[in-house]
Amino acid sequence: MAVNELPTDRTLAADTVRTRIRIAAVLALSLALILVWRFYVLQVDQYERYRTLSLDNHIRIQALPPVRGLVLDRNGVVLARNTAVYILQVVPEKVDDLDVMLQQVGALVGLTPVEVSAFRARLKKQPAFEKVLLKAKLDDVQTATFAVNEYRFPGVTLEAVLHRDYPEGSLTAHVLGYVGRISESDQATLDASAYQGVRSTGKIGIEKQYESALLGRSGFEQVEIDAHGRTLRTISRSSAAPGHTLSLTLDVDLQRAARAALGNRRGAVVAIAPSTGEVLTMVSSPSFDP
């Protein structure tokens, strides 16, 4: 009669060991696959994301100021526009000796005592890592002179900005008014979020009355910078929206005729279209050049 052999203790032990080895091998392989997948995610799939996060202290968000809207007369003649001018900006923390810098830059571009005094006043109100205006509206000679010497002055930059320009000058000054730098009193009434990157606002006249329409909307860009503050790449960008163009009922030719009629006398001339109530001309003397 056949007798089934019962497994010995040694056989049972061997089977147990083999089973454990298989389980350990499966676990090890699974862990290895998980590690490989995770490595791929970190090093390949999400490399740019984690690289950017690791450089948070080198990421800068910059406001992009909008282009202010034009102002035209009833026939499309430009009364207020924007022209490019050059300015000097200083990042104080990047300048070794401010006094020496002011002396040397002053010799190149002709800094006036008033400009130096205004610069020192701004220094007290702004953080050392922010740009501070040193000189506005450099002429062509000053711009060219500093441009070839800019390498000598770390922390001092030559920048092109838009400047409000009035082609008709004093002829339309009382109507248009002018824009000026945002003052502390302006800051108390303006919406700071709408003026990111914007340095000026309408002070009087049309420029002030229609400020919200002319202003436009600021944009923003997120950039990666190196240790020297130089831009390495743009991470994201939201473009600024320009302000609206205003067309006035004013006729600049009638303005000239009214001023000629007024001559050197003090007074004002206003002409209104009876049928519509449109103001065709508005001249005042004496006037000013904005």
Using CA atoms of 58, 194, 84, 133 in order, give the dihedral in degrees to the nearest 10. Answer: -60
Residues 278 and 250 sit within 8 Å (Cβ to Cβ): no
Q: How many angstroms separate the first and last alpha carbons of the chain?
A: 124
Using CA atoms of 202, 163, 252, 207 in order, give the dihedral in degrees to the nearest 10. Answer: -10
The pLDDT assigned to 229 comes to: 63
Using CA atoms of 151, 153, 154, 159 in order, give the dihedral in degrees to the nearest 10. Answer: -80
Identify whether residues 138 and 41 lie together within a single domain: no
Beta-carbon contacts of 131 under 8 Å, excluding residues fewer than 6 positions away, are 89, 90, 91, 157
Question: Closest Cα to residue 251, out of 77, 71, 36?
Answer: 77
The pLDDT assigned to 223 comes to: 84
Identify whether residues 192 and 220 lie together within a single domain: yes
Instruction: Count how many domains the chain has.
Output: 3
The pLDDT assigned to 189 comes to: 87
For residue 192, is it within any domain? yes
Identify whether residues 102 and 119 lie together within a single domain: yes
Cα within 13 Å of Cα(137), Cβ side: 5
Amino acid identity at 202: G
Identify whether residues 206 and 108 lie together within a single domain: yes
CA distance 59 to 222: 7
Identify whether residues 28 and 171 lie together within a single domain: no
CA distance 121 to 158: 20
Full domain range(s) for residue 259: 252-285
CA distance 235 to 224: 7
CA distance 242 to 226: 31
Beta-carbon contacts of 169 under 8 Å, excluding residues fewer than 6 positions away, are 289, 290
Identify whether residues 267 and 125 lie together within a single domain: no
Which position has the token pair 């004013």?
250
SS3 content of the chain, % helix, strand, coil (to 5): 40, 25, 30
* CATH (domain of 174): 3.90.1310.10
CA distance 259 to 277: 21
Strands 59-64 and 219-225: antiparallel
The pLDDT assigned to 155 comes to: 92
Identify whether residues 147 and 271 lie together within a single domain: no
Q: Residues 194, 195, 201, CA angle at the centre, nearest 5°? A: 120
Identify whether residues 178 and 201 lie together within a single domain: yes
Residues 229 and 157 sit within 8 Å (Cβ to Cβ): no
Identify whether residues 193 and 265 lie together within a single domain: no
| Alpha-helix residue ranges (DSSP H) falling in the chain | 9-40, 47-54, 98-109, 113-123, 140-147, 173-176, 184-187, 205-209, 211-215, 252-262
Backbone phi and psi for residue 71, each to the nearest 5 degrees, phi listed first: -125, 125
CA distance 122 to 132: 7
Q: Enter the DSSP assignment of 45.
A: I
What are the 10-residue block averages of pLDDT along the chain, 290 residues in total? Answer: 52 68 78 76 58 61 90 96 93 92 94 93 86 91 94 92 92 93 86 86 94 94 74 84 96 93 89 92 87
